[in-house]
Structure formats: structure tokens, C-alpha cells
Structure 1
Amino acid sequence: MKLERELTRDMLPAYWAERHTLFGAERADLSKLKQIDSVGLAFLVQWSQALAAGNKALTLISPPTSFYPLADLYGVSSLFELTDNTAES
């Protein structure tokens, strides 16, 4: 699933409306995103937890640089598989 809108508080209502579709996808391509805030990170955590309930993991493809310090700060890095678009080629 390729995400086109920033994962921020302002965009959360649009993402939340799509959660039933999004939460079924095991891959989230974040390569187009420039920003993720704490609300966006919480959304990714919920997505990961929804998949974990079915023994699946969420793979994040090319998260923006803002993802890493937030994930480390909140201690949630281990909830995600991380990869880069270059690995997809």
C-alpha cells in the first residue's frame, strides 16, 4: 500500500476513514512521505497491532527520516520490519 499523504495529525481523519483497507495490507510504502509525527506513528502502531493479531507483521518501505527518532523515543521500532525502496528493485 503506497501512502501519498503525510502521516500527521492533520491527515489522520482521512487515514482513519481508510483503516479497514489499510490495516489488511502487510506493506506500507512511505517513500513519498516527508513527515511523520507522533500521531502518525501511533497510527502505524495500531496498524502493526491489527496485523499482529493475525500473526502478520507490518513492513515499512522507505520511512522518512522523521520516523526513526520518534520510533526510538517511543520504543516501537521492533514492531516493524523496515526496508528501503532500493531493495524492492
Structure 2
Amino acid sequence: MKTQKLFALGIFATPIITTLGLGFSLKAQAAELGKASEYNVFVLGDVTQKYTDIQGKLAAGGDVNFFGGIGDRLPANSGNVVVAGRDFNFSGGQV
């Protein structure tokens, strides 16, 4: 009976101890994003957002459908605030 309890304890304790050991020993590293790092939102496909705002730049590989504000926290000389690979539809806000 005692052996079964120790075995059961070992089944649960081993993964927990292993997880804790790996969790503390590994450090996260940031990836370099290149030009994408200039944008608050960078999407490979289409973007559709309603009743929200993006305070920085937006880039999408497909269509951009946006109802809200984009780039309202950027200085006037910020370059391209919105880049769309296809169509850009915008209403109800300012760029």
C-alpha cells in the first residue's frame, strides 16, 4: 500500500518538478520584426475592425475595412499611416 502511494506521488511530482525547472531556466527572446516593427498592427491578410481605434500605423497584405480612427497619436510627418495590399475602405473616423 505504501509503495502504491509513493508511486502515485511520483507520477504527479515528476512532471511538476520538471516543468518548474524548465520554466525557470529558459528565457524568452524577442524576434526581430524588421519593417513590421514600425506598425502597431501588421497583418498578412485582410483587416476588418469596427468602432475601435489604432493609435499607431496599420499594414495589411489584403483589404483594410476600418470604422474608427487610425494613427491619432502620431506626429504629422509619420509617413504612411495605412498600407493596404488591396482595397482600403474607411469611414467614421480620421487618419
| Alignment TM class, shorter chain as reference | 0.3 to 0.5
Q: Output the TM-score relative to the length of structure 2.
A: 0.31
Q: Output the TM-score relative to the length of structure 1.
A: 0.32
Compare relative contact order (CA 8 Å, sep 6+) and give the higher one, 1 or 2.
Answer: 1
- Larger Rg: 1 or 2? 2
Greater share of helix residues, 1 or 2?
Answer: 1
Greater share of strand residues, 1 or 2?
Answer: 2
